Amino acid sequence: MTKPPNPQRRSQKSRDAILTAALELCGEEGYGRMTIEGIAARAGVSKKTIYRWWPSKGAVVLEALHEAADTVAPHPDTGDFAADMRTQMATVIRFLSPPSHAPLAGLVADALRDPELAEQMRERLVRPRIEAFGQRMRRAQEQGQLHPDADLDVALDLFYGPLYHRLVLHLGLPEPAYLDTLIEHVIRALDPGHGRT
Amino acid sequence: MTKPPNPQRRSQKSRDAILTAALELCGEEGYGRMTIEGIAARAGVSKKTIYRWWPSKGAVVLEALHEAADTVAPHPDTGDFAADMRTQMATVIRFLSPPSHAPLAGLVADALRDPELAEQMRERLVRPRIEAFGQRMRRAQEQGQLHPDADLDVALDLFYGPLYHRLVLHLGLPEPAYLDTLIEHVIRALDPGHGRT
DNA sequence: CGCCAACGACACGGCACGTGTCGTGGCCTT
DNA sequence: AAGGCCACGACACGTGCCGTGTCGTTGGCG
């Protein structure tokens, strides 16, 4: 149909301006109220240029987040698995809480209606972070801080499920003290030997 | 501002037609593509009549779900807590999976951008079901199937968190076998003594 | 039975979408 | 150094839905 443009000729300046403008506007007026036209205006860019490289508002925000989030929310490894999970999950909670939750929450909302966007989000944002969690978890197992038979999928569900559950049902995200309780429970759940010998 | 209409004079027929049309269209073309104008046309109703009684598409779907879901997803009590949780969660999973997930997923998506709608959803759809879960859980504690000190908030997070986590990150909802594993883990997590004395 | 408000119908302005067109300018080739 | 290609910014356009306003009609309450 429409011939795809040549990426080599792409203007890096326009690209950066668009991604920056998207994140700024997202914070200022909210994901839902932000429009492609608004992003174009803020970035000093033609609407056409946005549509040339991205199929939707969600795709722009996804790429902006992908770029911005590479440095954030790493899995620390101090040798204390529970403490490291506490640190990492607290960071995630910050990204899911006001005032900084707009881009991620908006993207999640759009992805619930756009399967294409959902796949992009899963593969580019979610999957790498699951991988990072998996690596940290395996180290904890090697160091004997977590039962060697603990299941990665179950661990992922039990650690991060409560966060998204509370986000989408608007039940309020965990306070630090409650987060500790949660982590304690999950680590116990992952120990099938449950103390007996 | 605009004087509120008199509920006594409200046409029950129009109301029912609107709610029915909303759920039907939701299933046929998806929540996102469904429009207020489409609902009005299908219901044989003026757009004005919808705007007179509901502030948004989300509010209509919320009320439709509220009405339809009163009978579904009850918490059975056969005396076997784990089995009952399996039954109930499998029902929830059906509501979160294609092809019937459109209304709920769409509502969740809209609520992420509309605080008013989010509050309505929490109070009218979510809160009553949390309450029902709490009652079933307390009976399990009385019958010794669950540790008496088990925390209701933690239990809610660990049981249902994985479902919504997987829904919004598009990781695929649990299969029956995996659901069993999950429930087993959660019940273990909720037992703080877990075997040691 | 009479009133009055909720109703269906329809038209309206507004907004953002996504596309098309055009002239410009920067980079790559030669 | 000259030429061509093509992404760019600008702008205009048709479309679809929004949310509101208006106007008879109708059905239920007092």
Residues B24 and B116 in one domain: no
Q: Is B171 domain-assigned?
A: yes
Q: Is A40 domain-assigned?
A: yes
* Residue B1 pLDDT grade (very low, low, confident, very high; cuts 50, 70, 90): very low
pLDDT of residue A196: 46
CA of A33 to C1' of C16 (A): 11
- Residue A178 and residue A86: Cα distance in Å, rounded? 11
Q: Which of residues 2-21 of A touch strand D (CB under 7 A)?
A: 5-6, 9-11, 14-15
Minimal C-alpha gap between B106 and chain A (Å): 7
Q: Where does A30-151 have alpha helices with state H?
A: 36-43, 47-53, 57-68, 81-96, 102-111, 115-120, 127-142
Residue A68 sits at the chain B interface (C-beta within 8 Å): no
- Give yes or no for CB of A35 within 7 Å of strand C: yes
Residues A138 and A50 in one domain: no
Tens digit of pLDDT for each residue in B141-158? 999 999 999 999 999 999
Interchain contact, B164 vs A165, CB within 8 Å: yes
In this structure, the number of other CB atoms found within 10 A of the CB of residue A106 comes to 22
Tens digit of pLDDT for each residue in A101-130? 999 999 999 999 999 999 999 999 999 999
- Residue A88 and residue A91: Cα distance in Å, rounded? 5
pLDDT of residue B197: 45
Is B82 a residue whose pLDDT tops 80?
yes
Closest CA to B95 of B53, B45, B57, B129: B129
What are the angstrom distances between the C-alpha of B23 and each of B32, B116, B172? Answer: 13, 21, 24
List Cβ neighbours of A5 (8 Å cut-off, separation of 6 or more).
Answer: A52, A53
Structural domain containing residue B95: 72-189
**A58 touches A144 (CB < 8 A):** no
- Residue A77 and residue A80: Cα distance in Å, rounded? 7
User: What's the mean pLDDT in B126-145?
Assistant: 96
List protein-proximal bases of chain C (any atom < 7 A from a CB).
5-11, 15-21, 28
- Residue B157 and residue B190: Cα distance in Å, rounded? 11
Q: Say how many domains are in chain B.
A: 2
pLDDT of residue B195: 53
pLDDT of residue A11: 94
Residues A33 and A17 in one domain: yes
Closest CA to A19 of A39, A48, A41: A39
* Residue B108 pLDDT grade (very low, low, confident, very high; cuts 50, 70, 90): very high
* Residue B3 pLDDT grade (very low, low, confident, very high; cuts 50, 70, 90): low
- Residue A117 and residue A113: Cα distance in Å, rounded? 8
User: Range with the lowest mean pLDDT among B28-37, B145-154, B185-194?
Assistant: B185-194
- Count, residues in chain A: 197
CA-angle at B170, arms to A180 and A89, nearest 5°: 20
Q: Is A6 domain-assigned?
A: no
Residues A91 and A48 in one domain: no
Interchain contact, A170 vs B194, CB within 8 Å: no
Residues A114 and A29 in one domain: no
Residue A153 maps to which CATH number? 1.10.357.10
Residues A90 and A57 in one domain: no
Is B97 a residue whose pLDDT tops 50?
yes
What are the angstrom distances between the C-alpha of A119 and each of A68, A165, B33, B52? Answer: 19, 20, 19, 38
Q: Is A5 domain-assigned?
A: no
Cis peptide before B98 (omega within 30 of 0): no
Residues B79 and B128 in one domain: yes
Interchain contact, B189 vs A194, CB within 8 Å: no
Please identify, among A67, A90, A114, the residue that sits at the C-terminal boundary of a domain.
Answer: A67
Residues B21 and B94 in one domain: no
pLDDT of residue A158: 98
Residues A48 and A123 in one domain: no
pLDDT of residue B4: 72
Q: Which regions in chain A score pLDDT beneath 70?
A: 1-3, 194-197
